[in-house]
Amino acid sequence: MKTSLIRIVNPLLLTALLLAVFAPSSAQSSLDRSLERVKRATVFVYQAETHGNSLIVTCVSTGTLISADGLIVTKANGIVPSQQCGGDTLVVSLNVDLAEPPIPKYRADVVNADVGLDIALIRIARELDGRLIAQGELPVLPFVAVGDSNSVALDDNLIVVGYPNIGNEPVAFSRGTITAFLSEPLTGSRTWFKTRAEIPGAMAGGGAYNTAGELIGIPTNAPLAGPVAASNCRYLNDTNSDGLVNSSDRCVPTGDFISTIRPIALAQHLIRGARLGLQVDVTDVMGDSESRRGAPVVSRVFVAPSVRGAMPSTVVGSLPSNTRNLYLFFDYNNFSAETVYELRVTRDGIPDTTFSLPPVRWSGGERGLWYIGAREQAWANGAYEFTLLVNGAGAGSQKIIIGGTAEDRAHFSDIVFGTLDHAGNLIGNGSIVPLGSIAYARFLHANIAAGTPWSAIWYYAGTEFARTSDTWSEDAFGSKVISVDPAGGLLPGEYRLELYLDGALSATSDFYVAGQQGSPLPRVFSNLRFTSAESLADARESSAASSTPSSIPALFALFDWQQIITGTPWTASWLVDDQEFFRYSQPWRAPEAGSDFALALPNPPDGNYHLKLLVNELLLLEQSALVGIGQLPIDRFAEFSGTILTGKVVDAATQQGISSLTIVLISEDFDASEFVWNEEQVVALATTDRNGEFQFARPLAFDTPYSVVIEADGYIPNFADVFRFDTNQPSAEITIEMVRG
């Protein structure tokens, strides 16, 4: 019987080298112990433009390896070609000596990106000279584990790792804490982490790590182009061919110090798609992809104490002491992913960095209603002023006082829209109304005295079309339903209702009219089906199928649509085995009605695929299909040839797991005494979780001896005797006991 030996080597041989990595102590967190590993997985990326046989650097970024096969997560700005960063080549520099600057080693390709989120996934694909790297020929690279950014809390410690300059200095790190969570109308309640860590602009795209050494975020900024960028850029190339590199040449933007971190949770669908090699093509049934934009405009800036389905609950001019929820709303128009926006907050005239947002890329659409704010965080008493800047110029502002006791103020709140059933009850989802003759709105009211003047103003596509003004004659507290009946009926598109009390805006909400009357949701999309085919033309002629064989050329999802007008926000979310790998959110640009809108997924692996269609973030239609066995393969990139090693490290006396230990498998070409953290020596890394459990992500080859190093401060150094496992076993599990010294 063939067996394989895995040596657990006495760590006394490596005490001097590995103490900083493996020894937990009260003065040193597990994050410090894994810092060297994190640094080695941090790369520097040059975006360059080809000029003859030369490369002219256009933009620079830090990045982080998240898999041994060269997958890198970084920021999109500086990676994806844009007006500011127009290069055509990505050069990846790796750490060879942590005390030295990184060395250019490879070229990479963009495999997935969301420019608005400012997140990109790139993969090492070529040698530095441009020669393609065949599958399996790339050396095993150091990488980090992706953590759960939804589990972090205020005041949690973090370390940000990246390059502090333009690649001519060693990798560095900055310590800090999480000082605030900012929210915008994106998936999830946290769209930014704020920190006071000193993060140089060139570290943008690098990694922010929790105390377990897991990647939880990407520091990002948005250097402004033009004259404003002069102090935030570097001159690297003689771009005007005068023989000098100076301020007359093209500037490479780096930006100011960074205080914002994009949570890694927002990148998970991009990471899944990149790791699985899945890319979805949206077929060209669209109309004009872009309208001709004017200058970006901000209007109607106001404050709300909470959010209901991306809409303000009510509008306020002041808030009481102990306020913990505050959101700044504003209308925007002519925005794009190239737009840079910023929020400056002052309290009593002094800048409040906790709730300010430095210049970042715009992550919304072209026009609409946006908010930025924070919940469950203390806002100190004072006079606040919020100032919005767009592309470096002031665009709008609002003031509010926080302090004093809560007032029983008169107000409207919580507007929802729908239609009436036969019993006169409002039905629907609150934000989408089907085509018809009448739209109804229900809202709450409180503390409104009889005789108070009030108004309801209705808008369609930004233009007022109906207004009602009256004096209040209902109860002070309760709910009310009003309606609008435009001449010619409701047209598809965007609507808005504003409610005023005594001439002041008290509540507002938007809704969309789309689709035919359905139960309970409007019928906007229909006939959603899957099919496999060689081409789109074949797909449109093929029969729908709920399952297909393995190794199909492409999986097509097709659907019909009706009464949805240009500009209506819609989303296609595609999942495999219940994990989202593709999310397409755009204003609708196809004709108002049609058939066979198609999404194509080339060469899908076996799996259970599920497509969701949403309008205004409301799920309207979904469908599933199985490919092959209906489950993703264990390893998409390599044929399984070894044993997956899992285990647990426990305290011998208590049998409780020991968390945050890093376990290193050393190549058979080196023994433990030779280990110096060079990448060619490390076969794999694993870190124990809070229960002391670990698993190596890659299979261990049969008939191959490895060295495994484990040491923990306060415990007697542990080494296990030789143990064996059968080559027919797909996995092996071990338990390592640590005895206190």
Task: Report DSSP letters for 126-182, one per residue.
Answer: EETTSPBPPTT-SPP-----B--GGG--TT-EEEEEE-SSSSSS--EEEEEEEEEEE
Average pLDDT of every residue of the chain: 84
Residue 66 belongs to what H/E stretch? none
- Look at residue 249 in the predicted model and tell me its pLDDT: 61
In this structure, what token pair is assigned to residue 718?
């542990």
pLDDT tens sequence across 484-524: 999 889 999 999 999 999 999 999 999 999 998 877 789 99
What is d(CA 530, CA 559) in angstroms, rounded to the nearest whole number? 9
Q: Where are the beta strands (DSSP E) in 562-617?
A: 569-576, 579-587, 594-602, 607-615
pLDDT of residue 708: 65
How far is the C-alpha of 72 from the C-alpha of 62, rounded, in Å? Answer: 10
User: How far apart (Å, rounded) are the C-alpha atoms in residues 686 and 736?
Assistant: 14
Q: Residue 537: how many CB atoms within 10 A of its CB?
A: 9
- Secondary structure of residue 725 in the 3-state scheme: strand
Q: Is the pLDDT of residue 725 over 80?
A: no
Q: Are residues 143 and 272 in the same domain?
A: yes
Calculate what percentage of the chain has a pLDDT beyond 90: 54
Average pLDDT score over residue span 668-689: 63
Query: Chain centroid to CA 193: how far?
Result: 12
CATH number for the domain spanning 420: value is: 2.60.40.2550
List, as one string, the DSSP characters of 365-392.
-SSEEEEEEESSS---SEEEEEEEEETT
| Average pLDDT value for residue range 220-249 | 62
Shared-domain flag, residues 555 and 492 = no
User: pLDDT: is 390 or 235 the higher one?
Assistant: 390
Is the distance from CB of 252 to CB of 727 less than 8 angstroms? no
Average pLDDT over residues 553-577: 94
Q: Are strands 607-615 and 618-627 parallel, antiparallel or unpaired?
A: antiparallel
Residues 531 and 469 in one domain: no
- Note whether residue 519 is domain-resident: no
CA dihedral 334, 336, 338, 341 (to 10 degrees): 70
For residues 256 and 229, what is the distance between their CA atoms, to the nearest angstrom? 9
The DSSP output letter for 17 is H
- Cβ(736)–Cβ(647) below 8 Å: yes
CB atoms within 10 A of CB 654: 9
pLDDT band at residue 722, thresholds of 50, 70 and 90?
Answer: very low
Tokens of 389: 């800047």
pLDDT score recorded for residue 172? 92
pLDDT of residue 283: 77
Q: What's the pLDDT at 297?
A: 96
- Indicate whether 127 and 7 sit together in one domain: no
Strand order in the sheet with 644-651: 693-695, 644-651, 731-738
DSSP string, 392-456: TEEEEEEEEEE-SPPP---EEEEEEEEEE-TTS-EEEEESEE-SSS-EEEEEEEESPPTT-EEEE
| CA atoms of 509 and 499, how far apart (whole Å) | 9
Q: Is the pLDDT at 643 greater than 70, yes or no?
A: no
Contacts of 339 (CB under 8 A, 6+ apart): 296, 361, 362, 390, 391
Q: Please check whether residues 78 and 227 belong to one and the same domain.
A: yes
For the chain, percent of residues with pLDDT exceeding 70: 80
Q: pLDDT band at 234, cuts 50/70/90?
A: low
Mean pLDDT of 561-576: 93
Same domain for 393 and 419, yes or no, is no
Q: Is residue 616 part of a domain?
A: yes
- Provide the domain count of the chain: 5
Q: Indicate which CATH number applies to the domain containing 17.
A: 2.60.40.10
For residues 699 and 132, give the distance between their C-alpha atoms in angstroms, rounded to a whole number.
25
pLDDT at res. 678: 57
177-211, pLDDT tens digit by residue?
Answer: 999 999 999 866 689 999 988 888 888 999 999 98
Q: Is 22 helix (H, G, I), strand (E, B) or coil?
A: helix
Q: Which helix (H) or strand (E) holds 683?
A: strand 682-687
Instruction: Report if residue 281 sits inside a domain.
Output: no
Residue 243 domain flag:
yes
- Rounded Cα gap, residues 342 and 96, in angstroms: 38
Assign residue 305 a region (left: φ > 0; alpha: ψ between -120 and 50; beta: otherwise): alpha
209 and 301 in a common domain: no
* Residue that finishes a domain, picked among 369, 402, 435: 402
Identity of the residue numbered 532:
S
Residue that wins the pLDDT comparison between 99 and 251: 99
User: In terms of domains, do 374 and 428 share one?
Assistant: no
What's the pLDDT tens digit per position in 9-59? 333 233 222 322 333 333 344 555 578 888 989 999 999 888 877 888 888
518 falls within a domain: no
Residue pLDDT, tens place only, 371-386? 999 988 999 999 999 9
Answer yes or no: do 64 and 10 share one domain: no
30 located within any domain: no
For residue 651, the tally of other CB atoms under 10 A from its CB is 17
Q: Does the pLDDT of residue 2 top 90, yes or no?
A: no
Q: Kindly state whether residues 232 and 123 are assigned to the same domain.
A: yes
Calpha distance 592→360 (Å, rounded): 34
In a domain, residue 664? The reply is yes
Where among 513, 538, 557 does a domain terminate? Answer: 513
In-domain check, residue 284: no
Interval 588-617 mean pLDDT: 93
pTM of the model: 0.80
Name the pairing type of β-strands 504-513 and 432-433.
parallel
Q: Within this chain, do residues 618 and 720 fall inside the same structural domain, yes or no?
A: no
**Residues in contact with 488: Cβ distance below 8 Å, sequence separation at least 6, in sequence order:** none
Domain final position from 575, 595, 627:
627
Instruction: Specify whether 211 is located in the same domain as 96.
Output: yes
**Lookup: tokens for 542:** 């093929």
Rounded-to-integer distance, Cα 207 and Cα 225, Å: 25
Beta strands in 12-118 (DSSP E): 42-51, 54-65, 71-74, 89-94, 103-114
Contact 266, 191 (CB under 8 A): yes
Domain of residue 476 covers: 411-513
Q: Give the pLDDT of residue 292.
A: 61
| CB contact at 8 A, 576 and 608 | yes
Residue where the block lists tokens 């390896």: 65
